[in-house]
């Protein structure tokens, strides 16, 4: 049994930032465990740019962004295990991991930070009827084949889902000489950044079919085409609008799901809306000393926010290691009207780590203009006008520690009211 002060599970942007911050704030004995053969997580295959506008004031590609942290991690001498998969996590912070070189490792940690990221929603999970041929990929898996392995999954592509991953891959495939026939999106609005609609679809004249979905997959051995249909207000396909579109590849960009198998193994409390652990103001889960940050807590759209959140978790873990006193006396953070969820879900205002606390949230629907209400126990703290609100673009609200501490508040609610 190996003893470690702090173990970080995952070496993507969340794990890297958390480990570095933990070391900076005083943790000495840190081990970062990563299942891939290199660090950087999903950023390794995100070769497009758009990362780092907030954190570095530069526009970087995924690998470049990751490299900043990987270099810093190396410089700080933080111990890393690569090619190592954590297969068990106990509520008592015991970790079982396996690797070809080191065999089976059992580690007892004083604190753990979970940064396992997320997985992609599959064809099976959304029940697209039809056959089960080759040629159906989730966008991330296709991205791995193209950018890391160097292979083209197909030549004639239909994409379902207008999330950023699907849009990015529409451009990637087109640049590499494939034909992307269309992007179908079941909602009446796109899920991706406007910048990506322009630079990934408009630039290449790829049609975006809003309020459309794939209703059938044709082809027994390799996909031969899909049936695309328009959907009504209840997102049910309208049979008279069905059209066959031939293709040899179907890319699915239909959602990301936080990967919490290990968290569930340890009986960590999971938020049903986010799919990730319930966390407090220092990103600590329901088990004192086990922290979580990044996509494993809630799906992010900007890696810059992942970094911010993960630095908080790193600080939180070091903070915990100092006195190991579990947090309590929480304010419950509530998602009010038209807010889908808020992270963190619990805040101990006395223990907010800096002068302010970030609250990350998402709206339930697009709104051009709305007033965001921040209320404590039915008293209005603040209201703010927000513009161009989209569920796919996370909202970040800062509240000063002084607004919450020493006030005996029980609940803090965020809600939106649309304004015309």
Partner 1 sequence: MQSVEVDKTVTCIICPKGCQIDVKLVDGNIESIKNYGCKRGIEYAKNEVLDPRRTLTTTLKLADGRMLPVKTKEPIPKKLLKRAMVELKDVTVSPPVKIGDVVVSNVVGTGIDIVATGNAEKK
Partner 2 sequence: MEDIVIIGAGVTGCAIARELARYDIDITLVEKEEDVACGTSKANSAVVHAGFDAEPGTLKAKFNVIGNRLYPELCKELDVPFKMNGSLVVAVNDEEVQVLCELLERGKINGVNPLRIIGKDELLTLEPNLNPEAKAALDAPTGGIVCPYELTIALAENASQNGVKFWLNSPVTDIEVLGNHHFLIKTPKGNIETKYIVNAAGLFADEISKMAGAEEYTITPRKGEYLIFDKQFGGLVKKAVFPTPTKISKGILVCPTVDGNIFIGPNSHDIGDKYDTSVNSDGIKEIVAGGKKLIPNLPMRNVITSFAGLRAVSNTNDFIIEASKKVNGFINVGGIQSPGLTSAPAIALEVKDILQDIGLKLKEKRDFIPHRPKKFRFREMDNEERKKLIEENPAFGHVICRCETVTEAEIIDAIKRPIGAQSIDAVKRRTRAGMGRCQGGFCSPRVVEIITRELGIDPLEVTKKGPGSNILIGRIKEFLKDEGGDQNAK
Min dist CB 48 to partner 2, Å, is 15
Min dist CB 408 to partner 2, Å, is 38
The yes or no reply on residue 141 touching partner 1 (CB under 8 A) is no
x-or-dash string of contact with partner 1, 319-358, rule CB under 8 A: ----------------------------------------
Please say which residue, 193 or 317, places its beta carbon nearer to partner 1.
193
Please say which residue, 63 or 288, places its beta carbon nearer to partner 1.
63
Phi, psi of 311, rounded to the nearest 5 degrees: -65, -40
Q: Which does 153 bind (CB under 5 to 8 A by kind): partner 1, partner 2, none?
A: partner 2
Query: Degrees (nearest 5) of the Cα angle 315, 316, 319?
Result: 85
Tokens for 88, please give them. Answer: 């068990």
- DSSP code per residue over 258-283: E--HHHHHTT--B-TTTSSB---TTS
Which residues 6+ apart lie within 8 Å of 101 measured at CB? 83
Task: Quote the CA–CA distance of 92 and 289 in Å, as a whole number.
Answer: 9
Min dist CB 143 to partner 1, Å, is 11
Task: Quote the CA–CA distance of 226 and 217 in Å, as a whole number.
Answer: 5
The yes or no reply on residue 393 touching partner 1 (CB under 8 A) is yes
Task: Quote the CA–CA distance of 348 and 114 in Å, as a whole number.
Answer: 21
Task: Quote the CA–CA distance of 44 and 330 in Å, as a whole number.
Answer: 38
Q: Which does 127 bind (CB under 5 to 8 A by kind): partner 1, partner 2, none?
A: partner 2
Q: What angle in degrees, to the nearest 10, is found between the helix axes of 62-75 and 303-323?
A: 20
SS3 state at 104: strand
Min dist CB 67 to partner 1, Å, is 6
Q: Which does 99 bind (CB under 5 to 8 A by kind): partner 2, partner 1, none?
A: partner 2
Binds partner 1 by CB under 8 A, chosen from 28, 88, 92, 203 = 203
The yes or no reply on residue 58 touching partner 1 (CB under 8 A) is no
The yes or no reply on residue 242 touching partner 1 (CB under 8 A) is no
Instruction: Tell me if 108 sits within 8 A of 90, measured CB to CB.
Output: no
**Interacting residue ranges for partner 1, rule: CB under 8 A:** 44, 47-49, 59-64, 67, 146-150, 175-177, 193-195, 197-199, 202-203, 387-388, 390, 393
């Amino acid at each position: 049994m190996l003893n470690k002060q702090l173990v970080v599970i995952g070496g993507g942007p969340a794990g890297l930032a958390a480990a570095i911050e933990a070391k900076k704030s005083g943790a000495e004995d840190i081990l970062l465990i990563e299942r891939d053969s290199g660090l950087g997580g999903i950023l390794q295959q995100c070769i497009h740019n758009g990362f780092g506008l907030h954190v570095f004031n530069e526009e970087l590609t995924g690998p470049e962004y990751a490299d900043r942290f990987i270099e810093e991690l190396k410089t700080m001498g933080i111990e890393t295990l690569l090619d190592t998969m954590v297969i068990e996590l106990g509520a008592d912070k015991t970790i079982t991991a396996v690797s070809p070189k080191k065999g089976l490792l059992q580690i007892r940690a004083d604190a753990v930070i979970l940064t396992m990221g997320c997985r992609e929603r599959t064809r099976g999970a959304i029940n697209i009827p039809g056959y089960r041929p080759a040629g159906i990929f989730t966008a991330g898996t296709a991205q791995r084949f193209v950018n890391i392995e160097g292979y083209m999954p197909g030549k004639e592509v239909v994409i379902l889902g207008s999330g950023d991953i699907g849009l990015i891959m529409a451009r990637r495939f087109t640049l590499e000489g494939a034909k992307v026939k269309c992007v179908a999106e079941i909602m009446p609005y796109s899920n991706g950044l406007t910048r990506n609609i322009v630079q990934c679809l408009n630039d290449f004249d790829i049609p975006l079919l809003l309020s459309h979905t794939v209703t059938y997959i044709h082809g027994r051995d390799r996909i031969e085409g899909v049936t695309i249909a328009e959907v009504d207000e209840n997102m049910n396909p309208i049979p008279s609008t069905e059209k066959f579109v031939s293709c040899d590849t179907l890319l699915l960009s239909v959602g990301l799901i936080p990967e919490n198998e290990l968290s569930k193994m340890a009986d960590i409390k999971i938020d049903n809306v986010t799919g990730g652990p319930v966390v407090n103001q220092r990103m600590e889960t329901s088990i004192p000393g086990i922290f979580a940050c990044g996509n494993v807590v809630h799906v992010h759209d900007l890696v810059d926010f992942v970094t911010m959140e993960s630095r908080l978790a790193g600080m939180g873990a070091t903070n915990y290691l100092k006195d190991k006193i579990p947090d309590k006396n929480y304010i419950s953070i509530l998602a009010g009207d038209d807010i889908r969820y808020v992270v963190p879900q619990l805040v101990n205002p006395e223990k907010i780590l800096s002068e302010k606390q970030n609250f990350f949230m998402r709206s339930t629907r697009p709104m051009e203009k709305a007033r965001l209400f921040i209320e404590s126990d039915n008293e209005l703290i603040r209201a703010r006008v927000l513009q161009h609100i989209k569920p796919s673009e996370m909202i970040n609200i800062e509240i000063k520690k002084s607004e919450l501490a020493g006030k005996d508040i029980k609940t803090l609610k965020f809600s939106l009211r649309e304004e015309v």
